[in-house]
Each structure stands twice: as C-alpha cells, then as structure tokens.
Amino acid sequence: MPHHRLALCGKDFINWFERYTKRTLKEFRMFSHKDKILVAVSGGKDSLALWYLLCKLGYRADALHINLGIGEYSEKSLQKSRDLSLRLKAELFVVDLSKELAGIPELQEKTVREACSICGLVKRYNFNKFAREKGYSVVATGHNLDDETSSLLSNVLNWNLKYLGRKSPVLEEEKGFVKKVKPFCKFTEKETALYALLNGIDFIEEECPFSKDASTVFYKELLNRIEEKFPGTKLRFYLEYIRKILPKFNQTDTTDLKKCKICGEPSPTDVCSFCRLKEITVR
Ligand code: AMP
Ligand code: ZN
C-alpha cells in the first residue's frame, strides 16, 4: 500500500484495516455503541465487509437489502446477503422493489431517466424511509475511496456545486432525513475486497448488467492511473476536499425542504421524485 507507505501480511492487514476503521468512525463522529445502525447491503464486497466488521466490533447493526428485480444478478445479490446474515446471526430486511413498484428494467422502459439514476433514487428513498420508520438512528453504506473520488472528479469537472456541497462522509440527521455515514470512505476498492476475501466473505463479483454509467468507470480508471504514478493522490484529493472545500458550503441549507403530499417523505417539491415515478408507472 504505497499510499500508506505500508506493506503487510494478511493477519496484519486485517488488524490495520480494523484499527483504521475505528479511527474513521471516531474522526467523523459517525456513531456510538448506543446507536441502532442500518447497513445498506448490496451483496457486494464493500457493504458486506462493512456489516461483518461492525458486528465484529460489537455495534448494533442490522442490514437492509433492496431487491432491484434485475434477474439473476439480483437473485445472486440477495443470496450473498442472506448467507452473511446467517453467518453473523444478524437480521437482514429485504425490500422487494418489484412488489413495491416495479423492477429496474421495467422502470427504465417507462421513463426517460437512465437506469442508474432511477436505481439511485429508489435506493436513497427506501434506505431513509425504512430506517426512520423502524427507528434506526444511522444508515451506513459501503461507499469506498474510489466511489467518492470518481464522483468528486465528475462533479468538479462539471462544477456541480449542489453535489459538491454534499459529498461528506457524514450527513447529519435533518428534517425527516436519517443520519447517513460512509465508514469505508478512506479505503480503496482493493483494500475492502482484500478484507472481504481474507475473512471468507462471499460476495457478488459481477457488475450490475445495467452497469455504472460509462463515465464513472472511466473516471475510476483515470484516477488509478494517476495513483500509480503519484501514490497518495486519491486519498489526498478526498481528504483535502473534506478539509478545505466542504466547510465552504452551508450544509444545513434545507430551507426549501417540505413533506411530500403523497407519502410524507422529505422533498424539495410538493410531490417527491419517488411518488412521481410511481405515478408514471401505474399509468
Ligand atoms: P453503489 O451505488 O452500487 O456503488 O453502492 C453504494 C452503496 O450503496 C453500497 O456500498 C451499499 O451500501 C448500498 N447499496 C447499493 N445497492 C444496494 C442494494 N441493492 N440494497 C441495499 N444497499 C445497496
Ligand atoms: Zn412521496
């Protein structure tokens, strides 16, 4: 790990990974042992490793999986999440999008929005609604350093200030939104994959067939090439953003937030985007 000036064996890597996570949890005041945590698990390496580690560290952590109805890919994702639930003896809740509304393939056909954008919307909506209704104080996701820096780069290149103000590892609870945290934000994809492998966590390796939009994949590759030449760039890009740029935004600017007229979830418009999606699909 040139960016940390470290080279470790498997056992030491696990120790290092766990200590580093604890430090991140503390540094950003993510949660305490009193919190009821809901881990959003996709069946992938990051979120399953996160759930595993939080349980190992003695946190009260249940999980939520959204079954997106994407054929075999979704079936496998659910199965991997179920397998870990059995191993951890921890509760896994499942929201079935096909029953609640319609699967992603169907939703995509009925709207002009891209599959990834619809998927992001239904996930965010369900994480928040489920957590609040069931009394969870924090939602934890498995976003890693590669996820965060690629989206940061894309938002910088487009000067998308709205998103640049919200790329924080912690979003505090506000006006109907449950607190959101990303405890793995400082780990690269390789590091979380290695931690999962070393702990015998079976995860889904395939990419979603709709896959991430091509630009995200391209930005990740680009950042990896820069990282190879200048180790430490990714971590610095992210940490300096948190230290220097994020504080310049007024994060508590939620003056425009109302309650959706239909479902009561927080929304900047009278009817939230999830309910609008619902209206289109039942038509
Ligand atoms: P992604 O947007 O696919 O890169 O995933 C980012 C994070 O969102 C993952 O690490 C999970 O914590 C969460 N997530 C993604 N897909 C699902 C899903 N189908 N169900 C529950 N959580 C998910
Ligand atoms: Zn609504």
**Cα 24 to ligand 2 centre (Å):** 34
Any idea which residue has 């912690």 for tokens? 170
Expressed in percent and rounded to 5, the helix, strand and coil fractions of the chain are 55, 10, 35
**What does the pLDDT read at residue 252?**
58
Q: Which ligand is nearest to the CA of 67?
A: 1
User: What is the domain partition of the chain in residue ranges?
Assistant: 10-255
**What does the pLDDT read at residue 243?**
96
Distance separating alpha carbons of residues 52 and 60, to the nearest angstrom = 11
Alpha-carbon torsion 74, 114, 127, 54, what sign? positive
Please give the number of the atom of ligand 1 that sits closest to the Cα of 46. Answer: 10
Task: Identify which of 30, 38, 39, 41 to mutate to test ligand 1's pocket (most ligand atoms within 8 A of the CB).
Answer: 41
Structure-block tokens of residue 268 = 């900047």
> What are 189-210's pLDDT values in tens digits?
999 999 999 999 999 999 899 8
Contact criterion met (CB below 8 Å) for 216 and 154: yes
Q: Report the candidate in 217, 183, 206, 234 with the shortest Cα–Cα distance to residue 74.
A: 206
Which residue's alpha carbon is at the smallest distance from atom 10 of ligand 1?
142
Q: Is the CB of 182 under 6 A from ligand 1?
A: no
**What does the pLDDT read at residue 152?**
97
Which residue's alpha carbon is at the smallest distance from atom 12 of ligand 1?
141
**What does the pLDDT read at residue 253?**
60
Q: Which ligand is nearest to the CA of 140?
A: 1
10-255 CATH fold: Rossmann fold (3.40.50)
Which residue's alpha carbon is at the smallest distance from atom 14 of ligand 1?
42
**Cα 185 to ligand 2 centre (Å):** 30
**Cα 140 to ligand 1 centre (Å):** 10
**What does the pLDDT read at residue 211?**
79
> What are 206-255's pLDDT values in tens digits?
989 987 677 889 999 999 999 999 999 999 999 999 999 999 987 656 66
**What does the pLDDT read at residue 281?**
81
Q: Is the CB of 126 under 6 A from ligand 1?
A: no
Q: Which ligand is nearest to the CA of 267?
A: 2
**Cα 229 to ligand 1 centre (Å):** 30
Which residues of the chain are under the pLDDT cut of 50?
none
Q: Is the CB of 148 under 6 A from ligand 1?
A: no
Q: Is the CB of 141 under 6 A from ligand 1?
A: yes
Q: Is the CB of 146 under 6 A from ligand 1?
A: no
**Cα 184 to ligand 1 centre (Å):** 13
**Cα 41 to ligand 1 centre (Å):** 6
Structure-block tokens of residue 11 = 């056992």
**What does the pLDDT read at residue 212?**
67
Contact criterion met (CB below 8 Å) for 22 and 212: no
**What does the pLDDT read at residue 283?**
63
**What does the pLDDT read at residue 280?**
85
At a CB cut-off of 8 Å and minimum separation 6, what does 252 contact? 172, 174
